[in-house]
Amino acid sequence: MATKLHIKKGDTVVVIAGESKGQRGKVLSVQVDKQRAVVEGVNLVSKHTKPNAKNTQGGIVKQEAPVHISNLMLVEPATGNPTRIGRRKGENGKLVRYSKKSGEEIK
């Protein structure tokens, strides 16, 4: 069964632990089963590639590797500050994410 995560694709997050601590970026994808997220410009690794149609030269390419969700903290869209996330029922009865710092809903 898939678990609910506090981070979604498109969110802006800050890394709170690890080698990339302090870096901010946009979430490009979320791997729910592994509880990991790929963040733009964070946790860059060197990948050796063979020449192919896309990259005729081949060589070493820098790309983002997944980061564990526990090492990421959502950045509040309104203020730009990192915040913890809670869930509560919205006006239509569905669960919505909200900022524990300001109490505002996060779209």
Question: How crowded is residue 14: how many other Cβ atoms within 10 Å of its Cβ?
Answer: 21
How many helices (H) and strands (E) would you count in the chain? 0, 10
Q: State the architecture of 12-52+59-106 in CATH terms.
A: Roll (2.30)
pTM value is 0.83
Q: Which of the four pLDDT bands, split at 50, 70 and 90, describes residue 90?
A: confident
pLDDT digits (tens, 9 = 90+) for 32-89: 999 999 999 999 999 999 999 988 999 999 999 999 999 999 999 888 899 999 999 9
Determine the Cα–Cα distance for residues 35 and 25; give it in Å rounded to an integer: 18
Question: Domain segments of the chain: what residues?
Answer: 12-52+59-106
